[in-house]
Amino acid sequence: MAPEDVVSRVFGVDRGRVTDATSNTTLAEWDSMGHVNLILELEATYGLSLSPDDTLTMTNVEAIKRVLQSRGAAW
């Protein structure tokens, strides 16, 4: 499952609307509670534990992909 799929599922938006530029400023559903849920889902999907610094930077899809790749996650 690609990070875009996770973002689409967590926020309940069409998969086609999710691009690298999708961020916590472009999606109303991506609020602080939504961010917590996104982190939980990413951790569960890729079986890894994200650091507090990671979670602070992962506020758009492009950054999410970068962090996940640096942690060896593949999709």
Partner 1 sequence: MTHNSLSADLLEQLIKAATKASTTREAIAALTELNTAEAVVWLITNEATARAQCAPRDLAELLDVVVKAGLAGRAGTRAGDLAKLVARYADLAHADTLATVANSLPAVLRNEELVGAVHKTLEREPRHAGLLRVALDHALRKKEMFEAHRLLTRLGRADDSQATLHFIWRKRSVLKPTDRPPVRIALMSSFTIDPLVHYLDLECRAIELEPEIYVTPFNSWAQEIIAETSGLRKFNPEIAFLSVSIDDLVGDLGGLISGDQLEEAGEAAVDRILVAAKQFAEWSDAALVVHSLLSVHREPLGILADRGKPGRAAWLERLNARLADELQKLPRAYVLDMTDVLLRRKGGALDNPKMRHMAAMRLCGPVVGDVARAYTHYIAPIKGLTRKCVVLDLDNTLWGGIVGEDGPHGIRLGGTSPGSEYQEFQRYLLSLTDRGFLLALISKNNPDDALEVIRSHEGMILREDAFSALRINWRPKPENMIGIAEELNIGVDSLIFLDDNPHERELMRQVLPDVLTPDLPADPSLYKATVEALPQLQKLAITEEDRTRTQMYQAKRQREQTRVSAGSLEDYLKSLDITVTIGQVDEASLPRVHQLFQRTNQFNLTTRRYAIADLEAIAGDRGCRLYTLRARDRFGDHGLVATALVRSEADTWRVDSFLMSCRVIGYGVETALLATVGEDARAAGAEKLIGEYIETAKNAPARDFYSRHGFSDLGTEDGVTQWVASLTDANQTLPAWIRREVA
Q: Which residues bind partner 1 (CB under 8 A)?
A: 5, 8-12, 14-17, 29, 32-34, 36-41, 44, 49-50, 52, 55
Residues 6+ apart with CB under 8 A from 48: 68, 71, 72, 73
Nearer to partner 1, 16 or 72 (CB): 16
Q: Which is nearer to partner 1, 34 or 63 (CB)?
A: 34
Distance (Å, rounded) from C-alpha 3 to C-alpha 7?
A: 6
CA 75 – CA 62 distance, rounded (Å):
14
Shortest distance, position 14 Cβ to partner 1, whole Å: 5
